[in-house]
Each structure stands twice: as structure tokens, then as C-alpha cells.
Amino acid sequence: MVASYTVEILDWETKKQLCFLDKVEPNATIREIRLMFHKLYPRWYPARQSIKLDPKGKSLRDEEILQHLPVGTTATLYFKDLGPQIGWTTVFLIEYTGPLFIYFLFYFRMTFVYGRDERFTSSPHPVVNLACICHSFHYIKRLIETIFVHRFSRGTMPLRNIVKNCLYYWGFAAWLAYYINHPLYTPPSYGKKQINFAVIMFLLCEAGNFSIHVALSDLQRNGSKTCKIPYPTKNPFTWLFFFVSCPNYTYEVGTWISFTIMTQCVPVGLFTLLCFIQMTVWAKDKHCTYLREFKDYPSHRMPIIPFLLRISFSSTILFTVMDTEYIQASTMKMGKARFKA
């Protein structure tokens, strides 16, 4: 058994040696190696470090153990500076607080938005009030989840991303609110039936989204950051795990679809479409991670939409590809040439 390791850390670009750690315990974790490196270079705190086995490879996880890595007794690792970092809890609090208060500026008809005409001080349509309640409820729920429910496997993100994220959330909140609360806004075409249907759908999706977040949080209840397979619980809202890997995104998209139906507003529909595209990308990445990490991962699960087997993008255009076996069977029955995947 090896008594100790020596760890050489090189710059991932220049291959210049940054430090040489002697007598490192075999059961030392990557997190402990980060802390050792931080003592030598205080400006590169652990969250800012990316430690890799290969300069162009993936970052090693904090919990990975040195003796379990494919290295010799003299291990060579590569360091990349990730830049200034910000905690995910802080990120979400900033992102979600903005839309909550920005929406109110338009809902309360601030004079600098729509002018000083007294006719513009309130809306005659009840759906405007309902939309404000639903929008506020959505972001208040997100803030509560951020503080009390979410457990983040990665503690930080690059600080530079906060500006981009805030522009997205805050900008869309202002755009939606401007049109929904505009004095010339017209209510949905099918009146109360359309609104009531949308409200019920909205509440169900919000409940489903919250249930999934609680279920995912329970997987890391003991502080473990190890990736685990999520399964349905006794809560019926979690049964969507039978069909998709990321039902929280499915419910989130459903929430915004219902909000679109409720308000019948084009900017809301566009925001919903962009949400769907972005969340599909995230869901595909998570789905691929599950497939890579777990050999026994349920094969029938899809990334975000039940029963759709493949989802891919070409530029910004979303399209779906049907199950190859289904196409083969269909074409054979029709006497056509065999489909080649």
C-alpha cells in the first residue's frame, strides 16, 4: 500500500509548474488538495479552482479521492482559474427579487411608465389583477425554495454571468408587465373559461414544480453531493419521474404556458418559448449525465417531454426526432424502404 503521494499542479495552458505537494495522504480528496493549493495561492480560493487530470478534460469533483484516480504515486494535475465566483443562493435571490418588484412598477401604473392620465391609473380587466398575483406568487415561491429547499451540488458560478442572467429575467419581467398592464390591453378571447382553465393549470404546475424540488432536495438531505437517481415518491406530482429525467423543468414550462393562456399576450408566449428551449438544453445535459453515471438508469425516461425520445437543436430551431424502431415498423408496413437511423 502506498504511504503517500506527491502531487504536481501545472497551469492548464502554459504547463508551468505552480506547486509541488509532498506527502499527500492517499485518501485525500480533491477538496483537500484545493485547500492546500489555496494556502500557497490565497487569491485562488477553492471555488475559483478547476482541477483536472487532463488540460482539456473535465474538472474533478470535490469528493473524488486521490488514490482512486488513474494516477501514479507522483500525480500530475492541471489548474484552471475560473475567475471570481458568486454563490448560487445569492445568484437566485438577485435574479428572482428583480422581476418581483419590477412587475409592480407597471402594475401600479407609475407615472413615468404610462403617463399622468387618470384613465391609466387602473385596469378594468380582472385578469390583470390575477396575472399580477400569479406572477408574484411564482417568484415568491422561487425565493422561498432558494432559501429553504434547494441544495446546490455546485456552490458557485462565475460572477460575470450574473449580469447576463439579470438582464434576461429582469428584462423579460419588464416587457411582460408593460404589455399586460398597458391601458390598451385586451383580455383573453374566450373570457372566464380560458382564464379559469389557465389558473387551474398554473396552480397544478406550481405545485408539481415545488414537489419535484423537495424530492430532489431530499436526495441530498445528509449533505451528500453525490449524484443519485431520483425516483417517484408517494406524492402524485413526483410520478412524472416515471417518464422524464427533469420534471421540474416540465412543470416550469407548463407554468409559463398557462400564464400565456391566461394573459393571451405575445411577449409572454415568446418568453415561454425561450424558457422551453433553454430548459430543454439543461434537461438534455442532465439526462446525459444520468445515463453516463448510472448503467441501470431507467431507459424509458426522456429529458423533459414524456415519450419524445430525442430532442436536438439546429441553431435556435427546436425539432424532435421520432423513435427509430417505431419508424422502421411503420415504413415496413407501408412497404417503403427500411429507415436508417
Same domain, 94 and 170: yes
Same domain, 295 and 219: yes
d(C-alpha 214, C-alpha 144), whole Å = 12
Is residue 335 situated within a structural domain? no
CB 142 within 8 A of CB 92: yes
* pLDDT for position 117: 64
CB 163 within 8 A of CB 157: no
Same domain, 222 and 258: yes
Same domain, 41 and 109: no
Long-range contacts of 316-323 (CB under 8 A, 24+ apart): 316/277, 318/276, 318/277, 318/280
d(C-alpha 96, C-alpha 282), whole Å = 19
Which residues of the chain fall short of a pLDDT of 70?
Answer: 1-2, 116-122, 153-154, 223-225, 309-341
65, 83, 101 - which closes a domain: 83
Q: Which residues are paired to 10 by β-bridges?
A: 17, 78
Same domain, 246 and 267: yes
* pLDDT for position 313: 40
* pLDDT for position 328: 40
185, 204, 227 - which closes a domain: 185
Is residue 289 situated within a structural domain? yes
Residues 251-285 have pLDDT tens digits of: 999 999 999 999 999 999 999 999 999 999 999 99
Same domain, 282 and 261: yes
* pLDDT for position 220: 82
Residue 130 has which C-alpha cell?
390575477
Same domain, 91 and 201: no
* pLDDT for position 303: 96
* pLDDT for position 115: 73
Number of domains in the chain: 3
Residue 227: CA atoms inside 13 Å, Cβ hemisphere, count?
14
* pLDDT for position 120: 59
167, 185, 203 - which closes a domain: 185
Structural domain containing residue 45: 5-83
Same domain, 149 and 72: no
CB 250 within 8 A of CB 223: no
**Run of H or E residues at 50:** strand 49-52
* pLDDT for position 119: 58
Q: Is the dihedral of CA 52, 58, 63, 66 positive or negative?
A: negative
Is residue 340 situated within a structural domain? no
* pLDDT for position 130: 97
Contacts of 324 (CB under 8 A, 6+ apart): 339, 341
Is residue 304 situated within a structural domain? yes
Is residue 320 situated within a structural domain? no
Residues 76-124 have pLDDT tens digits of: 999 999 999 999 999 999 999 999 999 999 998 877 787 766 555 567 7
